[in-house]
Chain A
Amino acid sequence: DSGVTQTPKHLITATGQRVTLRCSPRSGDLSVYWYQQSLDQGLQFLIQYYNGEERAKGNILERFSAQQFPDLHSELNLSSLELGDSALYFCASSVAGSGRGSDTQYFGPGTRLTVL
């Protein structure tokens, strides 16, 4: 158990809908990262937050957005969902993330999103 929690574990929804995925980082970690893992594209970095502020953006679609709250939990919002958005969505957390190379990311169990 990494100490990172994600809810829900599974989510089934329809095209065009909007969903929110939630992540609670390990105690003491200030950074949260979101990743998408699909069968044909491997692990794709979406976005990082550090202590409430956006720190880095990866391959995140405009239909997707995220935020980190004062208690450091984070939410990933996916809207206007398409069939291709079906994937595993992982959250990871780390202590710093402020450019320290040795900082280790610890992953949550993921949310499996199925768009029908």
Chain B
Amino acid sequence: AQSVAQPEDQVNVAEGNPLTVKCTYSVSGNPYLFWYVQYPNRGLQFLLKYITGDNLVKGSYGFEAEFNKSQTSFHLKKPSALVSDSALYFCAVKEDSNYQLIWGAGTKLIIKP
């Protein structure tokens, strides 16, 4: 069965420091991986996705994610955090044969000035 885990409920980072939000997944076939961000009282916004090809995927707002097949991970990263990056981040996975995205529980990212 498909599953996705975001092992950290909350991540705290100082402004200007690099940030990482972790995501691991389990699928039986090839994964399609997604990151979304949710700002307070807003809908989810698509950040980036991995389909195939380069393991490093670049997305919106300076975010990138690294696909690691051997570790079944898809961690979200940014070289230098901004206070405005503070939000709830969701990782999601699906298999091509399955219609549905499986969602992680979300990680609250807090960037402190």
Contact = CB atoms under 8 A, between A and B. Distances in A.
Interface of A: 2, 4, 42-43, 45, 48, 55-56, 58, 90, 92, 97-102, 104-110
Interface of B: 30, 32, 34, 36, 42-46, 49, 51, 90, 94-101, 103, 105-106
B101 A45 contact: yes
**What 9 pairs between A and B have smallest CB-CB spacing?**
A101-B96, A101-B32, A107-B43, A107-B44, A102-B51, A109-B43, A43-B103, A56-B99, A42-B105
- Chain B CB within 10 A, most for which of A43, A97, A107: A43
Counting chain B CB atoms within 10 Å of each CB, the highest count among A55, A58, A99, A101 belongs to A101
A97 B106 contact: no
A101 B95 contact: yes
Nearest to A44: B103
A90 B44 contact: yes
Contacts, number: 55
B106 A43 contact: yes
B101 to A, nearest CB: 7
Q: Main SS of the interface on chain A? A: loop
18 contacts: A2-B43, A2-B45, A42-B105, A42-B106, A43-B90, A56-B99, A56-B100, A90-B43, A92-B44, A99-B96, A99-B99, A102-B32, A104-B34, A107-B36, A107-B44, A108-B43, A109-B43, A110-B43
Contacts of B103: 42-43, 45
B37 to A, nearest CB: 11
A97 B95 CA distance: 12
A58 B100 contact: yes
B43 A102 contact: no
Contacts of A99: 96-99
Contacts of A2: 43, 45-46
Contact of B49 (A58, A102, A109): A102
A100 B30 CA distance: 12
B99 A48 contact: yes
